Structure 1
Amino acid sequence: MSVNVGSIYLTAHFGIPEMVRRGGGAIVNVASVQGFACQQNVAAYATTKGAIHTLTRALALDHARSGIRVNSVSPGSIRTPILEKAARGENGTDADVEAAYKRFGEAHPIGRIGEPEEVAELIA
């Protein structure tokens, strides 16, 4: 909770006054589709991502008149150590991880899991 939500809150708390002083700015928070439609066994994670969606909307409303835009992106399954741990939890071998990634990807409109660089390019 403190990492996923607390870090965003504290960054906004201390960063927004400087943005106001400079006449505006932009914040992009990284949430997750889990914040909208969660799966089993991810209650804590989904709760934090839902909180990020709400915090993003609240900050956007609170600071729009100061020229500060606040938005979020909500990736689906992205090839990260967290996803690998979830995939490995099913059986444990590298082949099984790749099979799990394939299964996870089939649930997404693009038919595959995403790459961290794709999320970074979207934000930059």
Structure 2
Amino acid sequence: MVNRLEGKTAVISGVGPGIGSAIADAFAREGADLVLVSRGESPVLDQAASGAERLGRRVVKVRGDVAIRETWSRVAEAGNSLGGADIVVNNAAIHARKKNILEVTEEEWDATMAVNLKSVYFSCHALLPGMISRSRGVFVNISSVNGLAANPKMIDYAASKSALHGLTRNLALDHGLQGIRANVIAPGAILTENDAASLDDEEKRSLRDNYLVGRWGMPEDVANAAVFLASDEARFVTGVILPVDGGLTVQTPEGTMRKSFRARWRDDVVRIQDV
């Protein structure tokens, strides 16, 4: 189908290389006008905006920190200039790198929670009242499989994403009768071409083989899911956590690594070296 988002205005945060810009491109191709939000002076924001404008879409760029309420006031103003926000995609996220709970500083913890979780709270305060007044609105919150299962030394990120699941469920529950839908996408490993090129052959193979479909994800995989959830095709879908993970979370670790189990569905054995 085409033009599934025609006549809609979508706010997308975290527009950078990867998922954010892919969602912006997919929404523009489906007919949406865009408010694109990014921190700093990354050229990706300008590129995403230019691509949407070439498709005939109206675009407003907002540069600012999503962890600050004032940024969302400017986002709301930008949305109103396009007729009011119909869709909000909360995609911005950060985390402390390779740290357990004793290693994550208080400042790092607070920063992760502010960007990954409090920004969604701010987005609701800024944009939900207008949606309620029009009796329609959709939130698509981008989470991670790390909100469903644990990876080592990603505790602040996992905690924020698990909390995002709870926030989204309650958003759907509390405001469904006012015309609001809210869902979560929980991606697995999503790699751009540059990401993949930075991996050695063993890392690529072991990563790829975790996924039942035989490959890691691409930003377009998440963007396609976001288009569906934002569109009227999903008008009876709310409060859902949708893993876009190539089947990663349906299997146990044994299915991937244990030699006798792996032989039941793959004809080789992954060798993992200690780092």
Give % identity: 41
Alpha-carbon separation, structure 2, partners of 1:38 and 1:11:
27
Of 144, 148, 163 in structure 2, the residue corresponding to residue 32 of structure 1 is 144
The aligned residue for residue 51 of structure 1 is 163
Amino acid across the alignment from 1:52: L
Moved >2 Å (runs of 4+) = none
On the 8 A contact 1:32/1:74 being kept in 2, the answer is yes
On the 8 A contact 1:23/1:66 being kept in 2, the answer is yes
Alpha-carbon separation, structure 2, partners of 1:35 and 1:65:
27
Per the TM alignment, residue 48 of structure 1 is displaced from its structure 2 partner at its CA by 1.0
Q: After the TM superposition, which residues 72-91 of structure 1 pair with which residues of structure 2 at under 5 Å, given as runs?
A: 72-79=184-191, 84=195
Relative to its length, the structure with more strand (as a share) is 2
The aligned residue for residue 42 of structure 1 is 154
The aligned residue for residue 219 of structure 2 is 116
The aligned residue for residue 101 of structure 1 is 204
Alpha-carbon separation, structure 2, partners of 1:4 and 1:26:
18
Of 130, 133, 142 in structure 2, the residue corresponding to residue 21 of structure 1 is 133
Alpha-carbon separation, structure 2, partners of 1:43 and 1:27:
25
Q: TM-score, with normalisation over the residues of structure 2?
A: 0.39
- Kindly tell me the number of residue pairs found equivalent between the two proteins: 114
- Specify the SS of the correspondent of 1:121: helix
Alpha-carbon separation, structure 1, partners of 2:134 and 2:167:
22
Q: Does 1:5 align with 2:125?
A: no
Alpha-carbon separation, structure 2, partners of 1:35 and 1:94:
25
Relative to its length, the structure with more helix (as a share) is 1
Alpha-carbon separation, structure 2, partners of 1:94 and 1:59:
38
Alpha-carbon separation, structure 2, partners of 1:6 and 1:95:
33
Q: Which runs of 5+ in 1 are unaligned?
A: 88-92
Per the TM alignment, residue 121 of structure 1 is displaced from its structure 2 partner at its CA by 1.5
Offset from partner CA, 1:91-111 (integer Å, 9 cap, x none): xx9351x54233122112222
Alpha-carbon separation, structure 2, partners of 1:12 and 1:123:
18
Structure 1 pair 72–95 and aligned structure 2 pair: CA distance change class (3 A): closer
Per the TM alignment, residue 23 of structure 1 is displaced from its structure 2 partner at its CA by 1.1
Please provide the CA RMSD for this pair: 2.1
Amino acid across the alignment from 2:115: V
Per the TM alignment, residue 12 of structure 1 is displaced from its structure 2 partner at its CA by 1.4
Alpha-carbon separation, structure 2, partners of 1:9 and 1:109:
35
Alpha-carbon separation, structure 2, partners of 1:44 and 1:16:
27
The aligned residue for residue 90 of structure 1 is none
Alpha-carbon separation, structure 2, partners of 1:69 and 1:22:
13
- Specify the SS of the correspondent of 1:74: strand
